[in-house]
């Protein structure tokens, strides 16, 4: 009996050494995509390899503590960690971001990525993992079952929980261990963070980032002092606004924001020529009216984060990399353009030609003060282009809503037609041809995307024609949420010479700006003067538009406008100052201004909302509209289509 126990203990100890090493190798091989890069990382970073092994060991021990049997625990640990690695691998390929702890809570949205990765290569990799897991389960029936005693099982499980929790919250002892093992968090570039530290370690270091830290010195006295600073910015903004309002004839025009899915100008690709201008309306407006480039916090996905910045005036730069405010943070009323326009006598409506539950929009729009939300179900017998409702159909809906309203309207529109991936030949033939140094697959992808951009451009022209004819005072702001994901590893962008490498950590600041710059154009029939805007962050767009129209700015948005004049562009890892100079982080002269911006955002999103006691109470303490979506509440769904798949919309 003693010999049998000793033998079992020997095999368990051996497994505790070997299993984590196998798990790290498997996870990193999946994450990095090839054997050479995996071996290079392991051989050049032996301490980090061991550190990842320690973390995988505790995951294995936690499962071992729950099940009490060795091989099934190995199989479950392999299934869990390799699944996470697969998700991270494909997420990086698609939108340049790895798998974060908070991605676990995306619920329905996370499932919609599956059709995008269900290709032959992906299925072979996933199949290999599944076969390995099944083989371990089958093997467990034919070899002696190595079990833990009940008390030992409980002890192992509790010890694993304690260790994983300590590493996740960065307890002092675990921080010491990670420092000694060479861990160095690169929070501003998560692709590099995962590539340098390994997936298990980078994922674990991100756990603490799920909690947004309170700014130093945050309390009511500090916010009262900040309120006085904000009043100064507001007074300056009121002066400018009244002048513009006079020049506009005192009108309250319809204000229509159109965030067109993945809209970008494909003619910016330096080595590609097109058989005709794919976006003639946008190019004309760039010459005739106010236009420029928005600095988007996203690439290829994460549309709701762009909405969040535009609608609230808050910045993703102050939130954990990869976080989704719509999913994680907005659970109480929050100030937004929707509530602002309602306070100005407008009817505020959101229009989105996809499922209302996606990204939790139906709940978030309610908290933002929208009066109505028209989602896919409220479109009657809509026209489809490919898998999604067409942009032309969305333009028809905007026209119908404005023409039937007896109040001026604020409409925030999010389209879907040109949603990726673009390798589906959705239009059959693409009349606009691309010529350049592209592979056949890249050429086909680009042409499909370009046809969608052309249709988006035509839908904008349709709106312009209508409001020109009716003469209803109207301002349209048209832009994309992010650059499109044109193939894995930025395939089209590298082939066309837009960037020099697919490795984002090696991009210059100029390339980083290029990959996050989306054109925006405006049109109005109220006589607004033309202005060129080289760069402006999405979070500053709302205050910029209100100021241009001549509407009074609440204090927080007035501060946004003032800050944008000093620092028009800000991402987590890129800052553009007033002269257009690029920085990898906030330069010293602007840090105080940016800190005030961060304090404003923390106070409303996470804090006690002290500012609302001192300034702009009506704006900062907006209430949910009591009649939210009543006009659509009793309407039956327009059709019974099955839910269409989308990666990030």
Per-residue model confidence as pLDDT tens digits over 54-95: 999 999 999 988 888 888 888 899 899 988 998 888 877 766
234 CB-side CA count, 13 A: 14
Conformational region of residue 262, where left means phi above 0, alpha means psi within -120 to 50, and beta covers everything else:
left
DSSP string, 412-445: EEE--TT-S---S-TTSS-SS-EESS--HHHHHH
Burial 374-403 (b: 16+ CB within 10 A, else e): bbbbbbeebeebbebbbbbbbbbbbeebbe
619: tokens are 């704006």
Please answer whether residues 382 and 393 qualify as being in contact, where contact means their C-beta atoms are separated by less than 8 angstroms: yes
Rounded Cα gap, residues 216 and 302, in angstroms: 30
- CA torsion 10→16→18→21, rounded to 10°? -170
Is the pTM for the entire model greater than 0.85?
A: no
Please answer whether residues 196 and 186 qualify as being in contact, where contact means their C-beta atoms are separated by less than 8 angstroms: yes
pLDDT at residue 616 greater than cutoff 80 = yes
Q: pLDDT at position 2, please?
A: 57
| Cis ω for the linkage preceding 421 (within 30 of 0) | yes
Q: pLDDT at position 6, please?
A: 64
Q: pLDDT at position 120, please?
A: 64
CA 274 to chain centre: 30
Residue located via tokens 């199949």: 127
Please answer whether residues 421 and 359 qualify as being in contact, where contact means their C-beta atoms are separated by less than 8 angstroms: no
Please answer whether residues 475 and 256 qualify as being in contact, where contact means their C-beta atoms are separated by less than 8 angstroms: yes
Rounded Cα gap, residues 356 and 413, in angstroms: 13
Enumerate residues 6+ apart whose C-beta is below 8 A from 428: none
Rounded Cα gap, residues 351 and 640, in angstroms: 19
Enumerate residues 6+ apart whose C-beta is below 8 A from 334: 312, 367, 368, 604, 605, 622
Helix axes 70-95, 199-207, angle to 10 degrees: 80
pLDDT at residue 266 greater than cutoff 50 = yes
Q: pLDDT at position 644, please?
A: 39
Q: Average pLDDT over the chain, rounded to whole?
A: 88
543: tokens are 């205050």
Rounded Cα gap, residues 441 and 431, in angstroms: 17
Phi and psi of 474, rounded to 5°? -150, 140
The confidence band for 411, taking pLDDT boundaries of 50, 70 and 90, is very high
Coil, helix or strand at residue 625: coil
Q: pLDDT at position 148, please?
A: 73
393: tokens are 């159909």
Closest CA to 264 of 96, 482, 499: 482
Residue located via tokens 């991936």: 421
535: buried, middle or exposed (CB in 10 Å: 19+, 13-18, 0-12)?
buried
- What's the pLDDT tens digit per position in 151-171? 888 898 899 999 999 998 888
Q: pLDDT at position 30, please?
A: 87
Q: Which element (helix H / strand E) includes 124?
A: helix 120-139
474: tokens are 């109207």
Rounded Cα gap, residues 396 and 560, in angstroms: 33
Residue located via tokens 């990799």: 125
Rounded Cα gap, residues 261 and 421, in angstroms: 12
Closest CA to 556 of 124, 229, 302: 229
- What's the pLDDT tens digit per position in 324-369? 898 788 989 999 999 999 999 999 999 999 988 888 899 999 999 9
Q: pLDDT at position 114, please?
A: 53
List, in sequence order, every beta strand (DSSP E) within 457-571: 474-480, 517-524, 532-537, 569-571
Work out the average pLDDT over 445-449. 97
pLDDT at residue 646 greater than cutoff 90 = no
Rounded Cα gap, residues 648 and 398, in angstroms: 23
486: tokens are 């044109």
Q: Which element (helix H / strand E) includes 384?
A: strand 384-385
Proportion of the chain in helix, strand, coil states, percent, rounded to 5: 55, 10, 35
Q: What is the DSSP letter of 638?
A: S
**Of 544 and 134, more confident:** 544
Work out the average pLDDT over 583-600. 96
Q: pLDDT at position 122, please?
A: 66
- Domain coordinates of the chain in residue numbers? 2-210, 220-633
Q: What is the DSSP letter of 321?
A: T
- The CATH code belonging to domain 220-633 is 3.40.720.10
Enumerate residues 6+ apart whose C-beta is below 8 A from 55: 164, 167, 200, 201, 204
Residue located via tokens 């050479």: 36
Please answer whether residues 397 and 335 qualify as being in contact, where contact means their C-beta atoms are separated by less than 8 angstroms: no
Give the 3-state secondary structure of 547-569: HHHCCCCCHHHHHHHHHHHHCCE
- What's the pLDDT tens digit per position in 84-140? 998 888 877 766 678 888 777 655 444 455 555 556 666 777 777 888 888 877 877
Rounded Cα gap, residues 157 and 151, in angstroms: 10
290: tokens are 């106010």
Enumerate residues 6+ apart whose C-beta is below 8 A from 592: none
Rounded Cα gap, residues 97 and 89, in angstroms: 9
* Helix and strand numbers, DSSP H then E, in the chain: 26, 15
């Amino acid at each position: 009996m003693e010999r049998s126990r000793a033998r079992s203990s020997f095999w368990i100890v051996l497994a505790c050494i070997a299993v984590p090493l196998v798990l790290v190798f498997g996870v990193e091989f999946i994450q990095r995509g090839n054997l050479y890069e995996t071996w290079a990382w392991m051989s050049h970073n032996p301490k980090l390899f061991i550190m990842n092994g320690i973390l995988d060991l505790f995951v294995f021990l936690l499962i071992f503590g729950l099940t009490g049997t060795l091989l099934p625990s190995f199989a479950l640990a392999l299934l869990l960690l390799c699944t996470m690695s697969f998700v991270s691998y494909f997420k990086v390929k698609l939108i340049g971001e790895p798998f974060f702890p908070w991605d676990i809570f995306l619920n329905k949205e996370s499932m919609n990525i599956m059709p995008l990765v269900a290709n032959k290569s992906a299925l072979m990799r996933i199949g290999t993992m599944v076969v390995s897991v099944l083989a371990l389960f089958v093997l467990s029936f034919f070899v002696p079952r190595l079990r833990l005693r009940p008390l030992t099982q409980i002890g192992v499980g509790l010890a694993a929980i304690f260790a994983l929790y300590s590493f996740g919250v960065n307890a002092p002892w675990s921080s010491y261990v990670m420092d000694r093992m060479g861990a160095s968090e690169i929070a501003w570039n998560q692709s590099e963070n995962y590539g340098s530290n390994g997936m298990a370690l980078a994922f674990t270091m991100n756990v603490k980032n799920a909690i947004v830290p309170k700014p130093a010195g945050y309390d009511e006295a500090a916010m009262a002092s900040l309120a006085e600073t904000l009043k100064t910015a507001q007074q300056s903004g009121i002066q400018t606004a009244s002048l513009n309002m006079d020049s506009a004839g005192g009108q309250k025009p319809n204000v229509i924001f159109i965030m067109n899915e993945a809209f970008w100008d494909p003619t910016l690709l330096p080595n590609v020529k097109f058989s005709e201008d794919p976006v003639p309306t946008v190019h004309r407006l760039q010459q005739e009216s106010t236009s420029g480039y928005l600095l988007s916090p996203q690439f290829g996905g994460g549309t709701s984060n762009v909405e969040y910045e535009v609608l609230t005036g808050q910045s993703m730069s102050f939130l954990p990399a990869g976080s989704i405010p719509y999913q994680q943070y907005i659970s109480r009323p929050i100030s937004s353009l929707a509530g602002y326009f309602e306070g100005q006598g407008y009817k505020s409506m959101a229009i989105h030609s996809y499922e209302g539950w996606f990204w939790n929009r139906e709940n978030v729009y309610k908290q933002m003060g929208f009066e109505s939300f028209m989602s896919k179900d409220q479109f009657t017998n809509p026209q489809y282009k490919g898998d999604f409702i067409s942009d032309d159909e969305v333009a028809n809906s905007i026209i119908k809503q404005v023409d039937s309203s007896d109040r001026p309207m604020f409409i925030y529109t999010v389209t879907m037609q040109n949603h990726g991936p673009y390798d589906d030949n959705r239009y059959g033939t693409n009349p606009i041809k691309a010529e350049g140094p592209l592979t056949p697959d890249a050429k086909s992808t680009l042409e499909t995307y370009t046809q969608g951009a052309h249709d988006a451009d035509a839908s904008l022209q349709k709106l312009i024609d209508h409001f020109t004819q009716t003469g209803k005072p109207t301002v349209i702001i048209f832009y994309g949420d992010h650059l499109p994901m044109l193939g894995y590893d930025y395939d089209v962008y590298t082939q066309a010479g837009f960037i020099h490498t697919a490795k984002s950590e090696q991009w210059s600041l100029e390339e980083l700006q290029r990959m996050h710059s989306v054109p925006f154009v405006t049109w109005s029939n109220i006589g607004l003067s033309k202005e060129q805007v080289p760069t402006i962050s999405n979070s500053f767009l709302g205050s910029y538009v209100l100021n241009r129209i001549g509407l009074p700015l609440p204090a927080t948005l007035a501060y946004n406008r003032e800050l944008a004049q000093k620092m028009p562009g800000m991402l987590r890892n890129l800052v553009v100052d007033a002269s257009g100079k690029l920085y990898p982080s906030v330069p010293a002269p602007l840090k105080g201004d940016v800190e005030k911006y961060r304090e404003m955002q923390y106070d409303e999103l996470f804090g006690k909302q002290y500012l609302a006691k001192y300034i702009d109470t009506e704006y900062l303490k907006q209430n949910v509209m009591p009649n939210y979506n009543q006009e659509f509440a009793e309407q039956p769904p327009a059709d019974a289509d099955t839910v269409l798949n989308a990666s990030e919309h």
